[in-house]
Amino acid sequence: MALHARRLSTGVHVYARYTATNAARSNTHNNSSSSSSSSNVHARALIAVRAQTSSSSTQHSSASSSSKQKQPSLQPSAAVAASAASSANGSQMPASQQKQQQVSDALQQTASAQVALLDVEGMNCGGCSAAVQRVLEGTPGVDSAAVNLVTGAAMLRVIPTSAQTADDVVAAAADAVCAKGFTARRRAAAENAVERATRLAEKDEERQKALKRAGVDLAVAWGLVGVCCAHHAGHLLHMAGFHSIAHAHNMAMFGSPWVGAALSGAALVGPGRAVLCDGYKSFVAGRPNMNSLVGLGASTSFGAGVAGLAVPSLGLPASAFLEEPVMLLAFILLGRALEERARLQAGGDLRAMAELLPRVAHLELDESSSVVDVDAGAIRTGEVVRVLPGERVPVDGTVLRGAASFDESHLTGEGRLISKAEGAVVSAGAIAWGAPVSVRASAAGAETQVASVARLVEEAQAKAAPVQRFADAAAGPFVWGVAAAAAATLAFWATAGASMFPAAVAAATGTGASFGTASALPPGALVGLRLAVDVLVCACPCALGLATPTATLVATSLAAKRGVLFRSGEALEALASCGVVVLDKTGTLTEGAPRVRSVFVAGGADGVADEAALLRLAAAAERDVRHPLATALVSAAEARGGRDGDGGFEYVYDSVTVPGCGAAATIDGRRVAIGRLDWALGEVGMGDDANGLGAVDGIPDGLTRVYICRSDDGMLGYVDLGDALKGDAVEAVRTLQEELGMQVYLCSGDSASAVNAAAAAAGIPAAYALSSQSPTDKLALVEQLKADGARVCVVGDGVNDAPALAASDCGMAVAEGVDAASEAAKVLLVGGGATRISDAVRLSRSALSRIRQNLGWAVGYNALGLPLAAGAALPTFGVALTPSAAGAMMAASSVCVVGNSLRLRGEFENWKVLPETTSAKIE
């Protein structure tokens, strides 16, 4: 609930900050815009109140919602009408003091909170990661924490106070973790791509060395197994007729208990030394882990064997007990080696992403082609670098000289070359082909887009999905519970079990059984001791700890390579549960690059005699606006002779933008507004302008019309702009509707003709195509759908989408859009087409399915394996595990969990990518 409230607060804060700035500027301009400013203030108050109430109601609906989504009961038009009516009524009344204070507190907390990452070493299982998380969350100043066992990363959300800074809190948290026997160090906040690549390479090298050491230990362990089991080969030799060899002195020597004791001791102090030392150290520190269970089981079995040798009168089967540590450690080390190899493979995508940027850049000293090679991390904004054919671009920037084709598949997932010449934007990590080019850096190091992508992916992998909470809750007390179960097993078979199941105990301890000859100890005690060791080594907290992070690691890394960035494991789970998707039009479903199709000039206004003059006036007001329509107007004006996008006007100031309405500025002393007719006329104080009457009629299908109005003149004219659907938009909508079973809405601030035409072309029913939607209308739609029981995903790319993105269950922002949308979204779409939306949904559902399978396997294995190890099948079937068999089962469970997560690679390794050149025209 707290996380959802913070996300909503972020979206509200973004939109409120945007409209508050515009309102303030409007008020300082003149009184004619006071009505618009007032409406913005009411809208902000309405959104704030709704955000606060939604944060509590959403939690309730999430808890009660089932996997099958309930479809909204109202017709879309009725739902929106009802919500719009309630919004209108609500906007006329101020919010209560209490709710305003709650929202203010939430915004203040969001603004002050900081996120830090720690690299933690020494975690071996789910019990370790749970212990680290408890320590972090118990540190004063830490609001929340998440720990990833696979990557060894811990994410902290800290709230500084007057008494301690955020750095103090992070340092205290790291010290607290170190005090528990782990190693923790803070990761640099401003780490550039080269530094990240170096850090990951060092970590990779450490893991490779650890894997080699594990290989040596594994070879030694299995060599000891071979020697230990050599005397058992006598049975095979007898069967083959080699009786003399079977009874040879050497074969008999291998069967000596003293040789078995030597082999068992060698296994414990040799390949098993690290496991035992870590296990007992963790046990003493009060945070027992899987190594503690293995170490306790192996040492107990070894101790029982040595006791049988030292005190023969006890009658303990020394040989049987002494063989177990050798076999047990061999299987454990085999599982560890396979698991570590799988972890390296799972993290391969992130390492590959960090290595996208070159370590050396060719810095141009002057225009005379004088070049010097420098560290790529030393490049600064504004400097010029030379990129040769076949090399990767070291910075984000624009082509200053030359032309080449670029492969940007590292961000978009599309393996096609894009030709770019002077003035074109290129991304760091892109490969240049054809000819050398000079690129002026606009962002370098940690500020590049690929560095931001890598940082987002690492942060996402450090944040646990909500489904992981079960594993975290179970992993902590798991080890203590297993130790108690082992003690209970020993006590039961030593007392009540022997009297309740005498035949089973006699069979297990009789002649020919694995326990050897009869003992001076009670038969039940022998059975209980052996089965207690089984319970200790069979239990597997590691599978619980690996269930979620391995699937999250593979899914987020795989998605990032194809332009889909999940901010956290929570985003994976939230998107997977959505049954309704609300799409914005411009830039999301369409190319986002509209063009001017026609211009109408009303005539009679001073200085606006033709189309070129009208476009120059519009471009001057739109010059600072980041919106596809604004870009189209500026480009059209420049094509007709506009200078630098300002139309050649001397004084242009007080520029404001109202999301969903338009933009305005004061140009040479007169107010100019561009956008919706009613808003534009109101902005310039000409609400009853006769020139605007009937201007809304006759808008061609598929086009968007913006009106240009000026104070004293009223409506000067209008411009019709057209956009095209993305080439894969039809495929994306079809996949969402038919294959994924989602209900698709198209919700846009554009005119009805433009929205209906786009919906028809994309295959969205007209009943679900909503036009002329303001930010509050979009928010109202999301709240209405959620109130009807639906789980909603919103996809948008502009600041007007921020409230709806934040209020939805999972917001997806097209990364080419403004930062406001990205701040409020859980998922970012970088480049590519509309199928990125359906790809993200499909991957999230597959990942969540793998997580649930992993958790089901981990829980099921322990639920079945522990009773079997405790002897549950002994009375009925005469079956009992040996410690070595129990250890093999435990190792196999961890490997199965990691392997199941890696299956995602095979399922999504070849995502279909449609070329953007197949853009469909909207008619």
Higher pLDDT, 697 or 785: 785
The per-residue pLDDT for range 187-200, each reduced to its tens digit, is 765 555 566 666 66
Between CA 618 and CA 624, with CA 622 as vertex, the angle to 5 degrees is: 155
**Three-state DSSP class for 695?**
coil
Q: How many CB atoms lie within 10 A of CB 603?
A: 11
Which of 24-33, 761-770, 803-812 bottoms out in mean pLDDT, i.e. has the lowest?
A: 24-33
Q: Which are the catalytic amino acids?
A: 584
Residue scoring higher pLDDT (506 or 81): 506
Higher local confidence (pLDDT), 835 or 908: 835
Confidence of residue 2 (pLDDT cuts 50, 70, 90): very low
Cβ atoms of 83 and 784 closer than 8 Å: yes
- pLDDT beyond 90 at 578: yes
Distance (Å, whole) CA 168 – CA 138 = 15
Task: Decide: 700 and 726 in contact? Cβ < 8 Å.
Answer: no
Q: What percent of the chain has pLDDT over 70?
A: 69
At 915 the pLDDT is 38
What does the mean pLDDT of the chain come to? Answer: 74
Tell me the H-state helices in 467-522: 468-494, 496-500, 502-509
Three-state SS across 423-479?
A: CCEECCCCEEECCCEEEEEEECHHHCHHHHHHHHHHHHHHCCCCCHHHHHHHHHHHH
Q: Which domains are seen in the chain, by residue range?
A: 102-190 (3.30.70.100), 203-352+465-539 (no CATH), 359-447 (2.70.150.10), 564-590+726-830 (3.40.50.1000), 595-722 (3.40.1110.10)
Query: How crowded is residue 652: how many other Cβ atoms within 10 Å of its Cβ?
Result: 17
On the question of pLDDT at 303 being above 50, the answer is: yes
DSSP-derived letter for residue 248 is S
Distance CA 607, CA 417 (A): 45
CA 888, 892, 895, 897 dihedral sign is: negative
The larger pLDDT score, comparing residue 398 to residue 61, is at: 398
Q: Is the pTM of this model over 0.85?
A: no
**705 φ, ψ (degrees, to nearest 5):** -110, 130
- Chain position carrying tokens 């948008």: 796
Summarised one tens digit per residue, pLDDT across range 451-464 is 776 666 666 656 65
Count of Cβ atoms closer than 10 Å to residue 688 Cβ: 8
pLDDT at 581 over 90: yes
The predicted structure's pLDDT at residue 33: 36
pLDDT value for 719: 92
- Give Cα 219 to chain centroid, integer Å: 38
For residue 87, the one-letter residue type is S
703-710 and 396-401 strand pairing: unpaired
CB atoms within 10 A of CB 572: 32
End-to-end Cα spacing for the chain: 45
Name the pLDDT band for 765 (thresholds 50, 70, 90): very high
Is the separation of the CB atoms in 649 and 663 below 8 Å? no
- 430's CB contacts (< 8 A; 6+ apart) are 392, 393, 406, 407, 408, 410, 411
Statement: residue 768 has pLDDT above 90:
yes
Q: Give the model confidence (pLDDT) of 733-746 as tens digits.
A: 999 999 999 999 99
User: Of the candidates 565, 569, 547, 655, which has an alpha carbon nearest to the alpha carbon of residue 896?
Assistant: 547
The residues pairing with 662 across neighbouring beta strands, listed in sequence order, are 658, 675
Look at residue 376 and give its three-state secondary structure.
helix
CA distance 270 to 210: 15
Look at residue 342 in the predicted model and tell me its pLDDT: 62
Enter the tokens of residue 152. 């060894």
* Contact between 812 and 793 (Cβ < 8 Å): yes
Is the pLDDT at 110 greater than 50? The verdict is no
Tokens representing residue 203 in the block: 């970590």
Phi, psi of 843 (to 5 degrees): -65, -40
pLDDT higher than 90, residue 62:
no
Distance separating alpha carbons of residues 429 and 395, to the nearest angstrom: 8
- Contacts of residue 775, Cβ cutoff 8 Å, sequence gap at least 6: 15, 43, 47, 659, 660, 800, 801, 802, 803, 804
Instruction: Give the pLDDT confidence score for residue 72 in this predicted structure.
Output: 45
Report the pLDDT value the prediction gives residue 358, as an integer from 0 to 100: 78
Question: DSSP assignment, residue 96?
Answer: P
Alpha-carbon span 390 to 387, nearest angstrom: 9
Closest CA to 901 of 841, 838, 849: 849
Q: What pLDDT was estimated at residue 334?
A: 78
Dihedral of alpha carbons 570, 573, 579, 585, sign: positive
Specify the pairing of strand 920-921 against strand 714-722.
unpaired
pLDDT, position 467: 63
The pair of three-digit structure tokens given for residue 303, joined into one six-digit string? 């101790």
Helices of type H across 671-809: 677-683, 729-734, 752-762, 775-787, 802-807
Structure tokens at 644: 């630098």
CA dist 821 and 828 (Å) reads: 9
Q: Which of 163-177, 418-432, 747-761, 823-837 has the lowest mean pLDDT?
A: 823-837
Confidence of residue 351 (pLDDT cuts 50, 70, 90): low
371: enclosing H helix or E strand: strand 371-375
Q: How do residues 608-643 score in pLDDT, each as one tens digit?
A: 888 888 998 998 888 877 777 888 888 888 887 655
